[in-house]
Amino acid sequence: AQSVTQLGSHVSVSEGALVLLRCNYSSSVPPYLFWYVQYPNQGLQLLLKYTSAATLVKGINGFEAEFKKSETSFHLTKPSAHMSDAAEYFCAVSDLRANSKLTFGKGITLSVRP
Amino acid sequence: GAGVSQTPSNKVTEKGKYVELRCDPISGHTALYWYRQSLGQGPEFLIYFQGTGAADDSGLPNDRFFAVRPEGSVSTLKIQRTERGDSAVYLCASSPLAASTDTQYFGPGTRLTVL
């Protein structure tokens, strides 16, 4: 069975600082990986996804993530945090055997300090 | 265009009651998914539909939970004899097809509270 681990439940950065949110996955077949963001009182919104093309994936709002098979990781980064990035971030995995259902991590809350 | 909508946004019920949660997917999307998100957790898969049929209901926790999508568009999640442990946010998502690489578009959720 596939799974996702997001270590830590809360990350706090200063405005303008690097954002790094970690995601490790477990899958016995090549995975497809997703990052979703959830702003307060809103639905989940896709930031970016890896579907076995380029390993460095660029998403919306300046975020990007790199698929590293050797490390089973798909960490999310942004060079410079903005106050509007404060939200909850979820990493999710799917694969060809999963009937397209997503398995999510527990999520990480990002706070941005002025 | 319109996104995924869910009604009601909040539902408070008493233990033992029956509830229905509705999802209106994006027009033309073939696949529809239900997830449940408990406090402090990520969403957990419940069931997904390909058209009118339930293609995978392996995430439904027990036989008190049932979902339908009779015309391949709107879906209703039905919970019988609700229990306090059913309290959660129920999320609906839709995607154009049902490919594992498809983006799933999520609604805002229905927050269910069972007293």
Cβ <8 Å between B55 and A99 = yes
The string of pLDDT tens digits covering residues A49-85 is 998 878 999 999 999 999 999 999 999 999 999 999 9
Output the CA torsion A65→A94→A37→B106 (10° steps): 150
Those residues of chain A whose CB sits closer than 8 Å to some CB in chain B are 4, 6, 9, 32, 34, 36, 41-46, 49, 51, 90, 92, 94-96, 98-107
**Residue A81 tokens, joined:** 């945090």
Dist. CA B75–CA A5, nearest whole Å: 31
Residues of A with Cβ-Cβ distance to B35 under 8 angstroms = 102, 104
Please tell me which of the candidates A43, A100, A105 has its beta carbon nearest to residue B107: A43
B34 has which bridge partners?
B47, B92
User: What SS3 class is residue A60?
Assistant: helix
Compute the mean pLDDT over every residue in chain A, rounded to the nearest whole number.
93
Q: Spell out, as residue ranges, where chain B has pLDDT lower than 50.
A: none
Cβ <8 Å between A90 and B42 = yes
Which of B104, B105, B110, B111 would best serve as a mutation to test chain A binding (most A beta carbons within 10 A)? B104
* Confidence class for position A10, pLDDT limits 50, 70, 90: very high
Report the alpha-carbon angle A46-A47-A53, nearest 5.
Answer: 100
Reference A57, options A79, A82, A35; nearest CA is A35
- Ranges of beta strands (E only) in chain A are 3-5, 10-14, 19-21, 24-26, 32-38, 44-50, 56-58, 64-68, 73-78, 87-94, 103-104, 108-113
In this predicted structure, the answer to whether residue A2 has a pLDDT above a threshold of 90 is no
